[in-house]
Amino acid sequence: EIVLTQSPATLSLSPGERATLSCRASQSVSRYLAWYQQKPGQAPRLLIYDASNRATGIPARFSGSGSGTDFTLTISSLEPEDFAVYYCQQRSNWPPYTFGQGTKLEIK
Amino acid sequence: QVQLVESGGGVVQPGRSLRLSCAASGFTFSSYGMHWVRQAPGKGLEWVTVIWYDGSNKYYADSVKGRFTISRDNSKNTLYLQMNSLRAEDTAVYYCARDLGIAVAGRGWFDPWGQGTLVTVSS
């Protein structure tokens, strides 16, 4: 089973700042990595798939990069609605599909 | 618009059974793989199971293998999760989610998700 480790656990930033979230895989997942956003009381929402493809309707301030074992989600300029929990997920070696433990992006 | 609506959650005693449903609309249900993903209270996301678009293949997480069964009725646009021998650790919000696409390139990415249904296993 591929283990995904996200860092940091919590990221405190202010609106307008740049956010950089990391996800590291226990073995190579090629580019088969996705990012999801989850707000309190809501279902997750797909942001990025195949490491760098934005899902439909996702603003351009969200971007993904990386391959192999190291991946990054970047939010170029934080909007108030971006404060949430973010999860990475792999589909390279399944079952099972696995998720990281999440990074909470909170307002500083 | 694409919509997934789960139902069937509730409080159940350990060892008992429960069946969840997920009603799909706004897309050709019979063309897409479907998943169940769960989230224990205050915890992260755990993939549970997937069923192919035609029901021909099903895969499970080890934590539920032999106890849970995924199925679908394409004539009713509905996905199911039969949960038997429930344990306290099965307590979670259960989400159904669709594969992003019908081609291989779109499988294994979850989009969209339903709003979830809470299952509580407690005596």
Radius of gyration of chain A (CA): 13
Q: What is the DSSP pairing of strand B34-39 with strand B92-99?
A: antiparallel
Q: Which of A23, A26, A22, A24 is nearest to A1 (CA)?
A: A26
Average pLDDT, rounded, for chain B: 97
pLDDT of residue A29: 97
Q: Please indicate whether, in this complex, the C-beta atoms of B44 and A102 are within 8 angstroms of each other.
A: yes
The one-character DSSP state at A97 is P
H or E, element range at A105: strand A103-107
pLDDT in tens, B1-13: 999 999 999 999 9
User: Is pLDDT above 90 for B103?
Assistant: no
Answer yes or no: is pLDDT of B105 > 90: no
Are B109 and A95 an interchain contact pair (Cβ–Cβ within 8 Å)? no
Q: Please, are residues A14 and A82 in contact by the beta-carbon 8 Å criterion?
A: no
Our CA-based measurement puts residue B96 at a distance from the nearest CA of chain A, in whole angstroms, of: 10
Predicted confidence band of residue B104 (pLDDT cuts 50, 70, 90): confident
Whether A95 sits inside 8 A of B44 (CB atoms) is: no
pLDDT in tens, A45-84: 999 999 999 999 999 999 999 999 999 999 999 999 999 9
Choose from B48, B100, B115 for mutation: most chain A CBs within 10 A: B100
pLDDT at A82: 98
pLDDT of residue A106: 97
pLDDT bucket at B115, cuts 50 / 70 / 90:
very high
Instruction: Tell me the pLDDT tens digit for each residue of A1-29.
Output: 999 999 999 999 999 999 999 999 999 99
Cross-chain Cβ contact B115/A43 below 8 Å = yes
**Residue B35 to residues B38, B50, B76, B116, Cα–Cα distance (Å):** 10, 4, 17, 12
